[in-house]
Structures are given as C-alpha cells and as structure tokens.
Amino acid sequence: MTRNHLITEKLQIRYPIVQAPMLGVTTPEMVAAIANEGGLGSLPVGGLSPEKTTELIRKTKQLTSYPFAVNLFAHTIPDITIAEAQQMQEYLSELGRKNGLEFPAQSIEKLVFYSYKSQIDILIAEQIPIVSFTFGIPDDESLLKLKANGILLIGTATCLEEALILDKKNIDIITAQGIEAGGHRGTFLDTIPLPQVSVMALVPQIVGRINKPVLASGAINDGNTIRAALAMGASGVQIGTAFIASSESMAIPTYKQAVLNAKDTDSTLTRTFSGRWARGLQNQFMSALDHSGLTPLPYPIQNSLTTPLRQVAQQHNNNNFTNMWSGQSAPKIQLPDCAAIFRELVRQTEIKNT
Ligand SMILES: Cc1cc2nc3c(=O)[nH]c(=O)nc-3n(C[C@H](O)[C@H](O)[C@H](O)COP(=O)(O)O)c2cc1C
C-alpha cells in the first residue's frame, strides 16, 4: 500500500493514522508517543478550563517537537433546572452510599461549564496547527479566527447530512464516526433520531459526495481494518479503543482489563453518565440509572453531576460506577505502550513511507 499523500501532507505526518482524542483517557504522553512515531496525536481538552487547556498543551509540547491536534467540544450550554439537578444529585449520592462510594454534595448553583469559546485564543497563542472538534461546529467568529491563523480544521460527522454541513462551513477534513465507535457520539443534528450509521455505510457515502479527506473512525484496530477503511475511500483512520489499555492511558486498571476482555456485544449506547449518547461497556451504574425512573439531564449538566461518583469509583479502581467508553472492537494488538501498538498497526498495514 502506498502512502496516502492527501492526508499525510495536510497533517504533516508520516502515516495516515490519527490517535483519537479521548477525554479522561488520553494523556500528553499518549499524544507525544503517537506524534513521535509519525502519526497524528490528538490532545482532548473538551470542556476543560482555559488554565488546564494551556497546561496540557504545554506539557505535550515538552514531550514532542512534532505537530499534534487539539480537540474541542463544540456544543452549546443549556440552562440548568436546579430542582431536577438536585433530584439527580440526591439519587447519585444515595447510589454511591449504598455501594461504599460516598462523596460530598456539590453546590448545583456553583457548577461551572466552560465553552470552547474560551479556548480559541489559547490555541492560536500556542500556535496549534490542527484543531479537531466534535458535538457541533464552532461558531463563525471562532472558525474565522482559527482559519485566519492558518489552523487546519477537522470536524466530526455521524451521518452524511452532518458531513455536508461541515463541508459547507469549509472544514478541511471530516472524521466519519461510525456507530461502532467508542465514547460520545459526535452527533450535532437534533432534528433527526440519533444517527446509527456504520463505518462501512458512512465512509463511502461521505467520500462519494465530498471532495475532502475523510478519516474513518470506529472499530479500527489492526492492519486489516485500516486497509479496509482506505479501500472504502478514507484518506486515513482515527483510532481510539485500541490505545485505552496502553501504559500512557489514564484508564484505571479494571477499565483497561475490561476493555481488553470485551466481546463484540459488551458495549452499548447510554446517556446515563453525561446526558449525551456515548458507547461504553455495560456496567452497574448504567443499569441502575436506567431502572431508576429518572431521566439523565442534558449534557454537560448530567456529566458534571456524575463526576464526583465517577471520581470516587476511580479512586477505588471500581469500574462499575465510572464510564468505560469503548468501541465494538476490543484492542487486537495487546502491546504495552502506544509506540509499540502504533508500530504494529503500521507494520500490519504495510504502509510504505515513500
Ligand atoms: C475513551 C474514549 C473517549 C473519547 N473521547 C473523545 C473526545 O474527547 N473527543 C472526540 O472527538 N472523540 C472522542 N472519542 C471518540 C473517538 O474520537 C473515536 O471516534 C472512537 O474512539 C473511534 O472508535 P474506536 O474506539 O472503536 O476506535 C472517545 C472515544 C473513547 C473510546
């Protein structure tokens, strides 16, 4: 297979493989390891404070001199209904208490939700060359600023209609996120039922309509699946789950183990943890909330309300009360670190760096 010039030249990388941004799992060490191996590392900063965003970018820069992408969440922030949030918080603290995971109540009125808008100037000041985003499209003012600074933009689509909207907004590269993908759905059209299109259906339909590089994302975990994506017309791939169990990952040990052992049917779509649909391994928390009679609050409110329970569960290495985002295909290459996994992906794909 020959090198895919379209994407590698645009992204200044050697191989058309992007490490998916994975908030809560990806570390600067992971991003740097992939960048140093010739792939595109992606640093997730969705919903983080401006201070934390700067800190993570600077840490990553210390570990690699290669370019990397920074990933934003481009959603709007809904109004919070205090009474509903209080009811959810009471349910969650009771659930935690019953399961030996106590945590102090948060003051709902004091919850802070950061917008991507407060991160745009930081990305420009830090001279980030590539910005990817999910959950929507940054507003026109932000897009103009990013473009005026020569920043390459990668947007996420979960159906053809979303890809066409990204194309119209002059987004440079489109990530086609199939229903197999681990983590949150990037879906941003709420006028239709949640798109549940597979990578195999989505990639050729986007490639057939849009004359821009497309990254296939979802269930790609070895040379065969990378080659399959390229054969369908993708210019590259974006891979997440395959890196969750690596030494550079922030995942707790029981989450890593569960991902490594996961069968094709072990993951499901849930709104219980964050209020947005996401694919993760089924666990006690998801079943409990599904049967509680309560409805998860909109993202990111539900996400903030479940954070203390998830944090205390993680401290106890308890994977039953924290999210275990994972795709439908478990990691196939079981090597200890990201560099080794990445090299094996390249070797299996036989990408020639011509
Ligand atoms: C643990 C985890 C966290 C994720 N977090 C993000 C994120 O912060 N931003 C984003 O654009 N996509 C995120 N995703 C989705 C990935 O970008 C990608 O679509 C997905 O990992 C591809 O499917 P795979 O996991 O089967 O490789 C996440 C995925 C996982 C597994």
Are the CB atoms for 215 and 8 separated by under 8 Å? no
List of domains in the chain: 5-77+113-251+332-349 (3.20.20.70), 79-112+267-325 (no CATH)
- Decide: 156 in ligand 1 pocket, CB within 6 A: yes
Ligand 1 centre distance from Cα of residue 107 (Å): 30
- Decide: 296 in ligand 1 pocket, CB within 6 A: no
Ligand 1 centre distance from Cα of residue 94 (Å): 30
H/E stretch holding 88 reads helix 82-98
Alpha-carbon 64 to chain mean position: 21
pLDDT for res 192? 74
Tens digit of pLDDT for each residue in 52-105?
Answer: 999 999 999 999 999 999 999 999 999 989 999 999 999 999 999 999 999 999
Nearest residue to 170 (alpha-carbon basis) of 127, 204, 140: 140
* Residues 49, 112: Cα–Cα separation, whole Å: 9
Are the CB atoms for 172 and 69 separated by under 8 Å? no
Tens digit of pLDDT for each residue in 122-158?
Answer: 999 999 999 999 999 999 999 999 999 999 999 999 9
- Decide: 325 in ligand 1 pocket, CB within 6 A: yes
3-state secondary structure of 239: strand
- Decide: 281 in ligand 1 pocket, CB within 6 A: no
The per-residue pLDDT of the chain, averaged, comes to 96
- Decide: 176 in ligand 1 pocket, CB within 6 A: no
Judged against a pLDDT cut of 60, whether residue 354 lies above it is answered with no
Residue length of the chain: 354
Judged against a pLDDT cut of 80, whether residue 4 lies above it is answered with no
pLDDT mean over 18-45: 98
pLDDT band at 350 (very low <50, low <70, confident <90, very high): confident
pLDDT band at 43 (very low <50, low <70, confident <90, very high): very high
- Decide: 181 in ligand 1 pocket, CB within 6 A: yes
pLDDT mean over 207-217: 97
| pLDDT over 70, % of the chain | 97
Structure tokens at 40: 């595109």
* Residues 224, 257: Cα–Cα separation, whole Å: 24
pLDDT for res 1? 40
Judged against a pLDDT cut of 90, whether residue 47 lies above it is answered with yes
pLDDT for res 60? 98
First to last CA, the chain: 10
Ligand 1 centre distance from Cα of residue 21 (Å): 6
pLDDT for res 301? 97
What torsion, rounded to 10 degrees, do the Cα atoms 81, 306, 286, 132 define?
Answer: 90
Are the CB atoms for 160 and 196 separated by under 8 Å? no
Q: Ligand 1 pocket check: which of 17, 22, 226 to mutate, most ligand atoms within 8 Å of Cβ?
A: 22
Judged against a pLDDT cut of 70, whether residue 3 lies above it is answered with no
- Decide: 241 in ligand 1 pocket, CB within 6 A: yes
Q: Ligand 1 pocket check: which of 19, 72, 184 to mutate, most ligand atoms within 8 Å of Cβ?
A: 184
Helical residues (DSSP H) of 188-252, grouped into ranges:
199-209, 223-231
pLDDT mean over 215-235: 97
Ligand 1 centre distance from Cα of residue 244 (Å): 10
- Decide: 267 in ligand 1 pocket, CB within 6 A: no
Alpha-carbon 145 to chain mean position: 24
pLDDT for res 2? 43
pLDDT band at 190 (very low <50, low <70, confident <90, very high): confident
Q: What sign for the dihedral angle of Cα 41, 44, 50, 55?
A: negative
Judged against a pLDDT cut of 50, whether residue 172 lies above it is answered with yes
- Decide: 298 in ligand 1 pocket, CB within 6 A: no
Alpha-carbon 29 to chain mean position: 16
Nearest residue to 19 (alpha-carbon basis) of 183, 238, 234: 238
pLDDT for res 33? 98
Nearest CA to ligand 1 atom 17: 20
Instruction: Give the number of the atom of ligand 1 that is nearest the alpha carbon of residue 133.
Output: 11
* Residues 312, 283: Cα–Cα separation, whole Å: 16
pLDDT for res 255? 98
Name every residue whose Cβ is closer than 8 Å to that of residue 260 and which is 6 or more positions away in sequence.
245, 330, 331, 334
pLDDT for res 351? 60
- Decide: 182 in ligand 1 pocket, CB within 6 A: yes
* Residues 147, 154: Cα–Cα separation, whole Å: 12
| pLDDT over 90, % of the chain | 94
Nearest CA to ligand 1 atom 7: 22
pLDDT for res 352? 53
DSSP strand E in the chain: where?
17-19, 42-44, 69-73, 130-134, 152-157, 173-177, 183-184, 214-217, 236-239, 267-270, 278-281
Tens digit of pLDDT for each residue in 241-300?
Answer: 999 999 999 999 999 999 999 999 999 999 999 999 999 999 999 999 999 999 999 999
